[in-house]
A and B are shown apart, each in its own frame.
Chain A
């Protein structure tokens, strides 16, 4: 028997949502199309729909993140689910046996979905492998591995502005090495057939493997920006850098910061993205972050529709046999 797919059920439906790598272009497109259906709900008097009424979503955050937790919580509430926020950061032994014990306790509380955020790469997949068969797991960011809902909200924002991916030149700037967002974006851009993906950043923060992810390493930011349609800044993740050689903030901005002058090298209708929180004057100049070309706040709004789409798809996929 073939090894069960980590994210799909026997009918090919989304069962867990752990990683964009391994999902087909059709699946990613279905997620984006479903999110388009949820997006207009924000303009209504009542912004909730009854899809997940009576279901319980547990936010399992082993790592602090107010923004992502809030985004998942609001998306679940817009779907009429009940939400449990479980702070596991302070739990010092949140791994191994005790992690499994934690899962058993949460399963006993009849939760339907775990949103997992963890500092260790592979944590969401580990949990998905060990939960009861009626529980679905969504990765809210694991270590330096993946942040698939962020990747999809980035794709949603790009598709809304540019329509398609085939003809696009996309530039990722900065700390690729520590960025799970970059990994999910690169996986999605490759699957969706982006025309050209360029990566630029300090040598110490750009792993050589980006070339195997379908991106081209460009040494100088000015060269990378020429003719760009989409420019994605990444947060300098100082908390993940253990002894890595990092330039000072000022030096980083001089070489890799997105200034208005540099932005003018890109296409006039290029969009500027950033997963937040932005370090103004480090990765991006304040006037660029606030410029009409910046879609940073649109990304936040898109995150709601995309997370609603993913949550309703994984909880709906129940027709097939359990894994």
Chain B
């Protein structure tokens, strides 16, 4: 098991600030939306640092997951909150770890049920191998190359990232 300390993770968040700042200069009304739970924690930190005009949105994708038939309804952490109109807007979708891409697909499906955004940009703290869909992040904090059977967990409580084997 490898632990990436909160300081290391902070530097990954730092790496996301510059490209996001450039994006917000081009699209000042862009809306940040974090995916529960880990993505919301990252999105909150980015939102505080960037101070965009739109309030922060949060998505709970429990109703959009593609594994309902296999494992049933995931616990619902809370209702999704999108406190702005997504129509014709740049949406910056934020998650902690991008692996298979299934979570992002579910999140995009949900966003389109709120309206028709101008475009969606994907920003993740960690991108890893293991894509199962043609989905890649536009902005990443870091790329971690880990074996296929390992997991990467971001712990919002400590701010650290843990890499281990199941």
Could you tell me which A residues sit within 8 Å of B by CB distance? 13, 30, 33-34, 36-40, 44-46, 48-51, 312-313, 315-319
Q: Note all chain A residues with C-beta closer than 8 A to B115.
A: 45
Q: Is the CB of B114 within 8 A of A45?
A: yes
Closest A residue, CB atoms, query B87: A45
Contact A51 to B73, CB < 8 A, known contacts A37-B60, A37-B63:
yes
In the A-B complex, list the 6 residue pairs whose CB atoms are closest, starting with the nearest.
A316-B72, A37-B76, A46-B113, A49-B63, A316-B73, A40-B79
Q: Is B12 an interface position by the 8 A CB rule?
A: no
Q: Note all chain B residues with C-beta closer than 8 A to A40.
A: 79-81
Contact A45 to B113, CB < 8 A, known contacts A37-B62, A37-B63:
yes
Q: Note all chain B residues with C-beta closer than 8 A to A50.
A: 63-64, 109
Q: Is the CB of B114 within 8 A of A44?
A: yes
Q: Is the CB of B114 within 8 A of A37?
A: no
Q: Note all chain A residues with C-beta closer than 8 A to B73.
A: 34, 51, 312-313, 316
Q: Is the CB of B113 within 8 A of A316?
A: no
Q: Which one of B62, B72, B80 contacts A13 once the chains associate, using CB atoms below 8 Å? A: B72
Closest A residue, CB atoms, query B63: A49
Q: Note all chain A residues with C-beta closer than 8 A to B114.
A: 44-46
Q: Which one of A33, A46, A48 contacts B76 once the chains associate, using CB atoms below 8 Å? A: A33
**Smallest CB–CB gap between B73 and chain A, Å?**
4
Q: Note all chain B residues with C-beta closer than 8 A to A36.
A: 76, 78-79
Q: Note all chain B residues with C-beta closer than 8 A to A39.
A: 79
Q: Note all chain B residues with C-beta closer than 8 A to A313.
A: 72-73
CA distance A175 to B155 in the complex (A): 54
Closest B residue, CB atoms, query A313: B73
Closest B residue, CB atoms, query A45: B115
5 more contacts with CB within 8 A, not counting A30-B75, A312-B63, A318-B69, are A39-B79, A49-B113, A50-B63, A313-B73, A315-B72
Interface string of B138-158 (1 = CB under 8 A from A): 000000000000000000000
**Smallest CB–CB gap between B136 and chain A, Å?**
24
Q: Is B84 an interface position by the 8 A CB rule?
A: no
**Smallest CB–CB gap between A180 and chain B, Å?**
27
**Smallest CB–CB gap between A49 and chain B, Å?**
4
**Smallest CB–CB gap between B8 and chain A, Å?**
34
Closest A residue, CB atoms, query B60: A37
CA distance A37 to B78 in the complex (A): 5
Q: Is the CB of A319 within 8 A of B71?
A: yes
Q: Is the CB of A51 within 8 A of B63?
A: yes
CA distance A82 to B150 in the complex (A): 39
Q: Note all chain B residues with C-beta closer than 8 A to A315.
A: 72
CA distance A44 to B79 in the complex (A): 12
CA distance A46 to B72 in the complex (A): 23
CA distance A50 to B105 in the complex (A): 13
Which residue among A48, A51, A315 has the maximum number of chain B CB atoms within 10 Å of its CB? A51
CA distance A50 to B115 in the complex (A): 16
CA distance A106 to B2 in the complex (A): 54
CA distance A40 to B60 in the complex (A): 12
**Smallest CB–CB gap between A294 and chain B, Å?**
25
Q: Is the CB of A317 within 8 A of B72?
A: yes
Tell me which residues from 68 to 113 in chain B have a Cβ below 8 Å from any Cβ of chain A.
Answer: 68-69, 71-73, 75-76, 78-81, 109-110, 112-113
Q: Note all chain A residues with C-beta closer than 8 A to B71.
A: 316, 319
CA distance A317 to B78 in the complex (A): 20
Q: Note all chain A residues with C-beta closer than 8 A to B69.
A: 318
**Smallest CB–CB gap between B116 and chain A, Å?**
9
Q: Is the CB of B76 within 8 A of A34?
A: yes
Closest A residue, CB atoms, query B69: A318
Q: Note all chain A residues with C-beta closer than 8 A to B113.
A: 44-46, 48-49
Q: Note all chain A residues with C-beta closer than 8 A to B81.
A: 40
Tell me which residues from 43 to 61 in chain B have a Cβ below 8 Å from any Cβ of chain A.
Answer: 60
